[in-house]
């Protein structure tokens, strides 16, 4: 590809429009983009909504891996040379809009458009760093601190100077799966956080960023 064509390529526009090998998929809450062990034949880019990635063990135990936000890719295992099946289930937590890109077309664009390749690689590296941080957190932190960190990570991106931030609708069962504890423990910690003024909630949870960060860093007295 010549330099002029490379300069004209717009990764953001590509990920927001239909085209060769790309189509828009809209799902309601509770519907799945794909299920664990389904054929892995495409990559998804989340435009609107929230998606939960979860896995199911052989003995029927479910674990939530992450909660995705707009701007996240998922299903990228389809680009590898492994088993050719989905490693997890991707379910819509709220109504979602995503771009589905066929595997062959995703690989073609990555090979032809260096800007898009760099964009996708940067995303994968960022996810890898977060996965490592999640693993360290799971091994060394208490379940209370893991819950505080999960709530912080889920807070919607807004004005960083604002003290409070909202998180998307989520059940305590899902929080328990993400943290690696029981629903009763999550309920206990949530009530404790609310009593300490770390969070408030009616229909949605509102977190106090700095106070909750103090829990994660172990600096808040009494926690």
132-185 confidence digits (pLDDT tens): 877 777 777 788 888 988 888 887 655 555 667 888 788 888 888 888 889 999
Give Cα 135 distance to the centre of its chain: 15
Q: Where in the chain is the domain with CATH 1.10.10.10?
A: 141-216
Q: What gap in Å lies between CA 207 and CA 32, rounded to an integer?
A: 28
CATH tag, 141-216? 1.10.10.10
Eight-state DSSP code of residue 181: S
Strands 42-48, 73-74: pairing kind: antiparallel
Q: Which residue has the higher pLDDT, 100 or 159?
A: 100
Q: Where in the chain is the domain with CATH 2.60.120.10?
A: 3-137
CATH architecture of 3-137: Sandwich (2.60)
pTM, two decimals, is 0.77
């Amino acid at each position: 590809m010549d330099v002029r064509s490379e300069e004209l390529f717009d990764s953001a526009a590509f990920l927001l429009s239909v085209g060769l090998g790309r189509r828009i998929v809209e799902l309601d809450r509770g519907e799945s983009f794909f299920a664990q062990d389904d054929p892995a034949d495409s990559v998804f880019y989340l435009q609107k909504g929230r998606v939960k990635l979860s896995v199911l063990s052989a003995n029927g135990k479910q674990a939530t891996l992450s909660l995705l936000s707009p701007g996240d890719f998922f299903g990228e295992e389809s680009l590898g040379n492994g088993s050719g099946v989905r490693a997890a289930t991707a379910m819509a937590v709220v109504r979602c809009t995503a771009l589905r890109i066929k595997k062959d077309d995703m690989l073609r664009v990555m090979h032809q458009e260096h800007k898009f390749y760099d964009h996708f690689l940067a995303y994968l590296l960022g996810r890898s760093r977060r996965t490592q941080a999640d693993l360290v957190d799971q091994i060394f932190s208490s379940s209370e601190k893991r819950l505080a960190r999960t709530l912080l990570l889920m807070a919607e991106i807004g004005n960083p100077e604002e003290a409070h931030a909202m998180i998307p609708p989520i059940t305590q069962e899902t929080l328990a799966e993400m943290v690696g504890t029981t629903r009763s423990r999550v309920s206990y910690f949530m009530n404790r956080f609310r009593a300490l003024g770390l969070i408030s909630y009616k229909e949605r949870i509102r977190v106090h960023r700095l106070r909750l960060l103090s829990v994660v860093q172990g600096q808040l007295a009494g926690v």
